């Protein structure tokens, strides 16, 4: 059942349209991730859901109840949610008082507040800082205070706006760990905005892609990342190989595509003559030094034009008559001694190819 239902939501700041006809269902207990580039309207959508602003038009339903545009009821509904902002925000008070704020505003009993705050501080690993002024903490610690302060009120919905955008990798890992812990408990519905793809992939059950104020695709993680519904989404979710092609044959669901300089086979039911974008995720492409016998139906000979390593993975760009990008492990790079101008065979399966219909321009 939907806990949050957004219907025909529009919002503008002055003349600028920020959100356009947003329709969205968020189910009880799920971790929903809004992904989109900076300025796409993610923060605004979260602010509208948290009732920090009222939409220009459209409605939001909370647990089946249409949220009024003004009045006391908004406070009551807002008190069932908590929002962690992108930039760590702490009050100029002790860590303890920061975390206790929400409970005090709800007029909880003192001993109950004490018990809950201490529990949560222990959980986020800040129990030794309880009497320290929160303003003296590092960004990562401050964000943990903000998360603890939100969690302690046991919200039905936890809204997170790029909670790790300004943090170092260590702090990011800690915040992600906490979020995934909350998510596993299953009592809290999480709505998180991020432009960090792996984070979305890792923390979410379901993803909504927000581009230019519009929800362009929603679906489970696998679906959005493997089968983006248009070129824009494909670009956004890290589908680095997007090649224009035309279907030249369809043999019972196995199509052959002419990409001008080669043919690719893919699983699809597009008819012959359909103009498509051929999408292959870089991590689905394997490299070898000779044409090997494998189950991969597509194999291309090419020359490496660029090798860039980041972290455990290396991004290899090659020219196979068309540009192809592959992500391989460091071990493979060493074993195959991949470097610029080296000749390789790139292979990928027909099932690893995703086709998007090209719209007439």
For binding to another protein (CB under 8 A), which residues are involved? Answer: 47, 50, 52, 75, 78-79, 81-83, 85, 87, 89, 91-93, 101-102, 105-106, 146, 149-150, 153, 159
Q: How far is the CB of 71 from another protein (least distance, A)?
A: 12
Min separation Cβ 104 and another protein, Å: 8
Say which residues have a Cβ less than 8 Å from residue 161's Cβ, sequence separation at least 6: 42, 43, 46, 83, 84, 85, 86, 192, 193
Q: How far is the CB of 315 from another protein (least distance, A)?
A: 36
Nearest approach in angstroms of CB 81 to another protein is: 8
Half-sphere exposure of 241 (CA within 13 A, CB side): 30
Cβ pair 300, 345 in contact under 8 A: yes
Choice between 27 and 89, CB closer to another protein = 89
Residue placing its CB nearer to another protein in the complex, 106 or 291 = 106
Of 156, 217, 141, nearest to 187 by C-alpha is 156
Q: How far is the CB of 89 from another protein (least distance, A)?
A: 5
Residue with smaller CB distance to another protein, 85 or 313: 85
3-state secondary structure of 45: helix
Angstrom CA distances, 291 to 6, 77, 217, 299, stand at 52, 62, 38, 8
Q: What torsion do the CA atoms of 260, 265, 270, 272 make, to the nearest 10 degrees?
A: 50
Nearest residue (CB) to another protein, 93 versus 246: 93
Smallest gap from residue 82 Cβ to another protein (A): 7
**Location of structure tokens 């005090």:** 104
Q: 65 or 75, CB closer to another protein? A: 75
Give the nearer residue to another protein in terms of CB position, either 50 or 212.
50
Query: Of 133 and 205, which CB lies nearer to another protein in the complex structure?
Result: 133
Q: How far is the CB of 150 from another protein (least distance, A)?
A: 7
Q: CB neighbours (10 Å) of residue 237?
A: 22
Query: How many Å from the N-terminal Cα to the C-terminal Cα in the chain?
Result: 40
Instruction: In angstroms, give the least distance from the CB of 111 to another protein.
Output: 20
Q: How far apart are CA 333 and CA 314, in angstroms?
A: 7
Query: Between residues 106 and 275, which has the closer beta carbon with respect to another protein?
Result: 106
Diameter of the chain by CA atoms?
73
268-292 per-residue burial string, b: 16 or more CB within 10 A, e: under 16 = bebeeebebbbbbbbebbbbeeeee
Residues forming beta bridges with residue 143, ordered by sequence position:
none
């Amino acid at each position: 059942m939907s806990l949050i239902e957004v219907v025909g939501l529009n919002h503008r700041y002055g003349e600028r349209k920020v959100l356009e006809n947003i329709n969205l269902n968020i189910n009880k207990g799920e971790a929903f991730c809004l992904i989109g580039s900076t300025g796409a309207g993610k923060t605004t959508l979260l602010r509208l859901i948290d009732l920090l602003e009222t939409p220009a038009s459209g409605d939001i339903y909370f647990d089946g109840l249409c949220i009024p545009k003004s009045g006391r009821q908004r406070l009551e509904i807002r008190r069932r949610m908590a929002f962690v902002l992108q930039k760590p925000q702490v009050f100029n008070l002790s860590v303890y008082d920061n975390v206790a704020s929400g409970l005090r505003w709800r007029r909880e009993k003192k001993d109950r507040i004490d018990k809950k705050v201490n529990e949560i501080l222990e959980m986020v690993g800040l129990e030794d800082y309880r009497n320290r002024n929160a303003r003296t903490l590092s960004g990562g610690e401050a964000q943990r205070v903000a998360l603890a302060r939100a969690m302690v009120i046991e919200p039905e919905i936890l809204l997170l706006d790029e909670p790790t955008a300004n943090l170092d990798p260590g702090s990011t890992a800690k915040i992600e760990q906490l979020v995934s812990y909350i998510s596993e408990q299953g009592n809290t519905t999480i709505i998180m905005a991020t432009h960090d793809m792996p984070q979305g992939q890792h923390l979410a059950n379901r993803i909504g892609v927000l581009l230019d104020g519009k929800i362009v695709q929603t679906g489970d993680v696998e679906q959005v990342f493997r089968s983006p519904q248009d070129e824009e989404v494909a670009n956004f979710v890290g589908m680095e190989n997007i090649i224009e092609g035309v279907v030249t044959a369809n043999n019972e669901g196995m199509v052959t595509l002419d990409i001008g300089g080669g043919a690719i086979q893919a699983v699809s039911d597009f008819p012959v003559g359909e103009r498509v974008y051929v999408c292959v995720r870089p991590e689905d492409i394997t490299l070898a030094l000779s044409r090997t016998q494998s189950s991969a139906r597509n194999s291309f000979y090419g020359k490496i034009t660029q090798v860039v390593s980041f972290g455990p993975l290396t991004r290899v760009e090659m020219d196979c008559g068309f540009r192809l990008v592959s992500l391989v492990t460091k071990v493979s790079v060493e074993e195959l001694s991949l470097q610029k101008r080296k000749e390789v065979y790139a292979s990928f399966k027909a099932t690893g190819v995703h086709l998007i219909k090209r719209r007439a321009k």
